[in-house]
Amino acid sequence: MPCRRAHGSDAGAWLALLAALAVSCRSIGPSTVPRDRIDYVTSIGDSWKQQTLLNIVKLRYGDVPIFLEVTQVIAGYQLQSTVGAGVTAGKFPSTAGLLSPFSISGTAAATDTYTDRPTVMYSPLMGVDFLKALMTPIPPSAVLFLLQSGYSAELVMPMVLDSINGLANESKRGVQRPADPRFTRLTALMREGQLSGALQFRIERPKTGPETAVILFGPSQDPQVAAKGAEIRSLLGLRPDARELVVYYGGYSGRDSEIDMATRSMLQIMLELSAIVRVPESDVAQGRAAPGMVETPASAAQSPVAIEILSGAEAPKDAYVSVQYGGRSFWIPGTEIRSKYTFGFVMLLFSISDTGVKGSKTVVTVPAQ
């Protein structure tokens, strides 16, 4: 018997089935990029800050710094669609008890199952990589790059240099050493030279041999700028007519034609920062923490520090970054713009000090389900 045309409701069921099939074929990849890119950057950045702060705190307590780098993130997505359909043909009783003409009825259903299964790979920093990344002094060329990029000499030099042409920087760790007043004055003059353009920096990369960092004293018609340039030369023990000076790493040679920088490694910088973490005075008295800044009623009267790292039972909710160690919270206040800026600079130094050595072969793969 030939089939009659399906009722309108039956045609709608077939349309629903076609729509379900169309939905099941859609792509989910492109739509995840705007969300996941920001989410992963935020998460990795926050964990990087926490890891850095935690290692600074650990050094204050004589603990070993451990770095676990995120080497790879693989985001895997899966969309499974299930489509079901049913067709019934025949005569169906109506509400009046009569049989309807021969007709076809259909049903359709579609369900989607979405699975997000990222894989994060970590690589611990150890062995030769640890030595090269954390214990190798930052090269003088990197110091000049920072100055040339606009970072203030009053931030770069006290943080990165241990001495320059025999002028010692301040050290807060171990046997505390105050900064040579000439170093402090030199730092201020270098900053003024940056702003006036009297100081210029150049990195020369010959085809053979190592790169050379050069500081240039530009000519100036301003008597005040010229006088400050002469004072910089005097503080560094340079010739009065010196214009182009090569920068070397190491102790002061005594030559009046070069600049010698003894720079710090990232481990030295972290040790210096660990000394300014404000820990309970009892921890120092009991030998739990190394000498340095402590929490006392007179803490506010202590000299200003590069980064304000506080401790207490619980970190405030608006903290810039916070970690837990030894049953206490340590944090950088979210309202301390100088501390946040300086801590961001320390994070940049980690990238600069990276020698490009690949991580060790030990890799931990954690599938997040």
The residue with greater pLDDT, 90 or 119, is 119
| pLDDT band at residue 368 using 50, 70 and 90 as cut-offs | very low
| pLDDT band at residue 355 using 50, 70 and 90 as cut-offs | very low
The residue with greater pLDDT, 26 or 319, is 319
The arithmetic mean of pLDDT across residues 74-101, rounded, is 61
Residue type, 315: A
Q: What mean pLDDT is reported for the chain?
A: 79
The arithmetic mean of pLDDT across residues 124-134, rounded, is 74
pLDDT 10s digits, 239-282: 888 888 888 898 898 899 889 999 999 999 999 999 999 999 99
pLDDT 10s digits, 37-63: 788 788 888 999 999 999 999 999 999
* pTM > 0.85: yes or no: no
Q: What 3-state DSSP class applies to 355?
A: coil
| pLDDT band at residue 125 using 50, 70 and 90 as cut-offs | confident
- How many Cα neighbours within 13 Å face the side chain of 266? 26
**pLDDT for position 205:** 76
> Is 359's pLDDT higher than 50?
no
CA torsion sign for 29, 33, 37, 43 is negative
Distance of CA 318 to the CA centre of its chain: 19
> 332-338 long-range CB contacts below 8 Å, 24 or more apart?
332/53, 332/307, 332/308, 333/308, 336/308, 338/306, 338/308
DSSP 264: P
The arithmetic mean of pLDDT across residues 160-179, rounded, is 89
Q: Which residue has the tokens 């790879």?
A: 72
Through-space distance between the first and last CA atoms of the chain, rounded to whole angstroms: 55
pLDDT 10s digits, 281-292: 999 999 999 988
- Of 22, 125, 132, 37, nearest in space to 75 by CA: 37
Q: Look at 18-22, 189-193, 202-206, 242-246 and tell me which has the smallest mean pLDDT.
A: 18-22
